[in-house]
Amino acid sequence: MTLLGRFVGSIRQFTRDRRGNVMMMFGFAVIPLSTALGVGIDYSVASRSQTRLNAIADAAALAAVSQSAMLSKTNAEAATIARNVFNAQAATIPGLVYDPANLQVTVTQSGATVFDRLAEVRYAAESKNNFAAILGMSTLPLRGLSRANSAVAPDIDFHVLFDTSPSMALPA
């Protein structure tokens, strides 16, 4: 029997043999299944980081336009405070690659008066991957934008009229 004949015979015997099929199928399937599970975990971590960064951006934008403290300050001071709020809170997120240079805070006058203010916070960061790094994706990009607007109500003159005549003492 030739070498080619033995090879063909062993292939035929291999295809007829039904023992151990489940183990082989599991062996072939475990690699893509565990990779898909790992990539899903990486995506959920990145999604959670994105949600936290969006909340932080909202807080920073609201800090820049809060009526009690910020509307009496200049736009530059309000932008600095919003930037400090974002940077301090973003540093607490684990697994986040964040450069403060990727944060843009813009505070502008949005209305006719000095007390109408619009704050815009844009950020860009990356979430570190543990499992997808094996496939060459070491990070997932995270980006977001938050806007807040605030204004002080204009002064309105109220006039109240009191009738103090004796006729008001009698029920009508």
Q: How many CA atoms lie within 13 A of 8 on its CB side?
A: 5
Tell me the pLDDT of the chain (172 aa) as tens digits: 687 788 888 778 777 776 767 677 778 888 899 989 999 999 999 999 999 999 999 999 999 888 766 677 888 998 999 999 999 999 999 989 999 999 999 998 876 666 688 999 999 999 999 888 888 889 999 999 999 988 776 666 777 777 666 665 655 5
Tell which phi-psi region holds residue 94, choosing left (phi > 0), alpha (psi between -120 and 50) or beta: beta
The tokens for 43 are 């995506």
CB 96 within 8 A of CB 49: yes
Distance CA 142, CA 123 (A): 8
Q: Which residues contact 33 (CB under 8 A, 6 or more apart)?
A: none
- What does the buried/exposed string (b/e) look like for 4-42 if buried means 16 or more CB atoms within 10 Å of the residue's CB? eeeeeeeeeeeeeeeeeeeeeeeeeeeeeeeeeebbeeb
- pTM summary value: 0.71
The tokens for 66 are 């809060």
Residue 145, CA distances (Å) to 16, 25, 40, 53 in order:
61, 47, 25, 10
